[in-house]
A and B are shown apart, each in its own frame.
Chain A
Amino acid sequence: MSVPGDTKQRVAAKLTAIQIGVALLFGVLAVGFWYLQVVQHARFEELAENNHQRRLALRAPRGVLYDRNGRVLVENRESFSISIVREHSRDLERTIALLARVLGLEAAHVRELVDRHRREPAYQPIVVVDDASLAQVAAVTARRLDFELPDVVVERVPARRYPTESLAAHLFGYVGEATDVLAGLASGAIVGQSGVEKAYNRDLMGTDGAKLVVVNSVGREMRTLDEVPPVGGKRLQLTIDFDVQKAVEDAFKASGFNGAAVFLEPSSGEVLAFASVPGYDPNAFASGINRATWSALNGDQMKPLQNRAIQGRYSPGSTFKMAVALAALEEGVVTPEQTVHCSGGANFYGRVFKCWKKGGHGSVDLRHAIEDSCDVYFYTVGNMLGVDRINKWATLLGLGVRSGIDLPNEVQGLVPSTEWKREKLKEKWYAGETISVSIGQGQVSVTPISLAVYMATLANGGTRVTPHVVRAVDDGTGWRPLPAPAPQSVATLNPEKLQAIRDGLWMVVNGGGTGKRARIEGKDVAGKTGTAQVISNEGRLAARSTRDLHDHGWFSFFAPRDNPQIAGVVFLEHGYHSANAASVAHHALDTFFAKKDGRPLPPPPTREDLRLDLSDPMDRRVPAAAPVAGQQAGRVPPAVAVSARAD
């Protein structure tokens, strides 16, 4: 038993021990805070900043496209995109399920989208819906305010607005998410995928801006710390004339045919109208095309995604005859006045080649040979020339080569030569093959754009201009005209000889020729029709008519004859007769000249206005040439069925 005093002392000692213990404990706490707040401060400061600061991309609007008269063609509209930012996710699965329900999407689809971007940094928004409807935006916003979707953001982004009714769709092209990771492009960046949008993507894209914002724990923006505004893309003025473009497409629509048309200014190569029918609605791509639409477009038998004007290769038919005529004149094989006798056919290398006109044309000179499209005349001069000299002049005029137009994925046509055949087919050229080439058949193929350049070269006297669709650019400091690209080649042509060809072309339209539908009073339209056979007559007889087997129709032209302001081509796929192509061209030319003269523009044509000829050409077609037995020297390959039409 201890005495009270002793107890009192022991209590005091215990209390002192407790005081020291507490002081030590607080000392440890202070050291702990010192370690966190002073030693490790930098690390935690960065973590705190990452917590509440967000760098948001501000998408730059793409440059606006204007027509040559300053009319807006393609502009931007405001759209809303809905994205998931995984960095803010508390429960990603729940977000996906809830968001899918709110937006009316399949959860599996959303999950797949998120998975696709899994390897990207978590702060990068994953776009779930581009161009969301107002109902979707409202639904998501309401949930966000309830803190249910802290990891979902709704952003305003500019989206492309294209003209309605897919006007000039193939010219403008479309935009979409960048698929290959190009240097300096953020994932999800919108880039041009075809047409002008692709060719001029660098100019049109602009530079995205950024915004540094403070967000709270549910991701709501509280204030802006720093903002670098986006720099919009450069504005481009196209060479297109909206009214002519619309006239071409109106006429196509009235005709009901597919095809292509290119109208050029022959002096400069500026493209006044550029159409490929059927088109597609670029608006469907403007903010992420859905898979169903994409596969529908891809699987469509009409091939709406093919840009026929620069990617379609077709037999030029009689439109090729001017190349042969020019070659013959320039090479001195014939003079314009020399005549050839046509009795309805002629024998070359043991085979009879028929003229489209059964009774023959009698004696024809160059002008009338063009006007009447006399096959025998061109068989004859073509035979005198040989295929290589035809190739040389056709190339100088722009056929069989790329035009160099400032649009992506142009393909090349073909004008055969002995060298070509030796290299590609490892075979010798047979002189008999030249005969079919002389009337634009055989292996000859052209793209509509190259045929338009060819007409422009004939119109301007030998300068193979480079077609182009952009004439001026504005980077925000005012319009700056772009110099026209250098011509692909310049040939010095004898004006008098060229005039004979032009006269012949004038007579096609204004005389007794096949192009009279394109005639415009006082405008001296010069042109040439052409038919490209899709199937041999025998095949056609066997297959019996389906629409796909009808001939293609061409009408190539320039006007006025002596001072050409416009040149080009209209191509009707399975258009029955080339006269129908002349009808389509007529409406566009009429519009062009009406605008030039300040007359009221003609109203869009009806199907009746076009006076389409839908009779079956088979009834008038001559049977295929029959080989003459025993003569092998100029053997014609059986694949090349030769026939001719009233072109």
Chain B
Amino acid sequence: MFERRLYRHIDWAMVVALVALCLIGLAMIYSASGGPTRVYTTQIYGIVLGLVAFTLCLSVDYRSLADKSHWVYFGVVVLLAYVLLFGAVRGGSRRWIDLRLFNLQPSEFAKAALALMLAKHFGEGRQGPAARTDLLIGGAITLVPLLIIARQPDLGTAVTLVPVFFAVAYLAGMPLRIFGILAMVGVLLAPVAWKFALRDYQKERISTFLDPSQDAKGAGYQQIQARITVGSGGLWGKGFTKGTQGQLRFLPVAHNDFIFSVLAEEHGFAGVLVALGLYLFVIVRGIEAARLAKDRLGAYLVLGVLAAFTFQVVYNVTMSAGLAPVKGLTLPLMSYGGSSMIATMAGFGLILNVRMRRFTN
């Protein structure tokens, strides 16, 4: 199934950038968790499995995958429903399926599955701007997993699905005024959501973000410490494993949500620029794959996957500097977490898949 001809069209620069980000993340996990701990070795397995997933997603023609996208989508929705009912509880939410060896987090795979499903939905429609019914169906496809994930509750991951829809819809020709209308509705609904939809801890996080000092020892603590961590890094950083904030645990969950803060502390602004540059390269180069795609399906798929990825990177990096409310959103490729790693690498497998098969029929 893997023709020699295709092999030549693999985007090796992209692969190098992805692996580089994984390795930077691994090094930061090593530093933040205090050496070759279990967290560190688990992440190595995560990267290896991620590469396997990457290769698998690369190998099968994306068009045949898209043909079965409704099965993938359906499977993920079932898993999400299962998690909601029987999942392992950690930190007050059900997000994981305990598979003994590791915990599976289906919501991570929902992003790629949704991208695939939406690409198929919009890509197979008639040519020209998407019709209103197409948009409504696309919206419904997005809302099902989104609502289930929000119920876990995992608002961060749920919100990540929104850009997937908008990116694909935008490319499929959704009129810009609909963005405007949705934005208006969003603004008008925000107070209602504040009152009814958000949980107390979520409200607290948002109000704390607006004024971290009002709760300097509680919810605002992470945000203040994140800012101190990043700011104290300076231009060149404190040196590998020499960071005080991460090493002495002033910064909570340093190896996970705040891995970028650790990088900023130990390697300074210079290290930040390198990592941001790599991420920007991966995204811009990924969009290039959409441009090169042979069909609309491919372009939509690439942009859908990239939308979730970009949203998550930008949000997490902003949060790492204490400039956004704290949410349990990991930094793809760098943060600790097997499911995230595998799902992200699978997503990039799809992107390279589209690019690689740009000349095939």
Which chain A residues have a beta carbon within 8 Å of chain B's beta carbons?
1-2, 4, 7, 10-12, 14-15, 18-19, 22-23, 25-26, 29-30, 32-34, 36-38, 40-41, 43-45, 47-49, 51-52, 89-91, 214-218, 222
Contact = CB atoms under 8 A, between A and B. Distances in A.
B249 A218 contact: yes
Q: List the 10 shortest-distance A-B pairs measured between CB atoms, nearest first.
A: A44-B231, A48-B232, A216-B248, A217-B249, A37-B269, A44-B232, A36-B231, A90-B217, A217-B250, A26-B280
Given A45-B231, A218-B249, 7 more contacts: A1-B127, A26-B280, A29-B317, A32-B323, A33-B273, A36-B230, A45-B232
A49 B283 CA distance: 37
B235 A38 contact: yes
A52 B248 contact: yes
Nearest to A26: B280
A48 B244 contact: yes
Given A29-B317, A37-B230, A45-B231, A14 B170 contact: yes
Contacts of B276: 26, 29-30, 33
Given A30-B273, A51-B250, A218-B249, A22 B232 contact: no
B244 A37 contact: no
10 contacts: A26-B279, A36-B321, A37-B230, A37-B231, A37-B234, A37-B235, A43-B231, A44-B227, A48-B229, A214-B244
Interface stretch (B72-80, B81-89, B138-146, B284-292): B284-292
A45 B264 contact: no
Interface in B217-275: 217-218, 225, 227-235, 244-245, 248-250, 264, 268-269, 272-273
Given A4-B127, A41-B234, A44-B232, A22 B280 contact: yes
B268 A37 contact: yes
Nearest to B238: A48
B170 A44 contact: no
Contacts of B244: 48-49, 51-52, 214
B314 A19 contact: no
Given A22-B284, A25-B314, A33 B264 contact: yes
Contacts of A29: 276, 314, 317-318
A18 B273 contact: no
Which of A4, A36, A49, A214 has the most B CB atoms < 10 Å from its CB? A36
A52 B225 CA distance: 12
Contacts of B264: 33, 37
A473 B127 CA distance: 103
B171 interface: yes
A7 B296 CA distance: 10
Contacts of B128: 1-2, 7
B312 interface: no
Contacts of B233: 37, 41
Contacts of B268: 37
A2 B126 CA distance: 12
Given A7-B127, A33-B269, A216 B228 contact: no
B163 to A, nearest CB: 11
B283 A22 contact: yes
B299 interface: yes
Given A29-B317, A44-B228, A44-B232, A214 B248 contact: yes
B310 interface: yes
A33 B248 contact: no
Contacts of B303: 15, 18
A18 B167 CA distance: 9
Contact of A52 (B127, B235, B250): B250
Contacts of B230: 33, 36-37, 44
B321 A48 contact: no
Nearest to B232: A48
B19 to A, nearest CB: 20
Nearest to B228: A47
B231 A215 contact: no
Nearest to B322: A36
B272 A37 contact: yes
Nearest to A91: B217
Contacts of B284: 19, 22-23
Given A32-B318, A32-B321, A15 B291 contact: yes
Given A23-B284, A216-B248, A217-B250, A34 B269 contact: yes
Interface in B106-135: 127-128
A205 to B, nearest CB: 35
Given A26-B276, A33-B269, A38 B248 contact: no
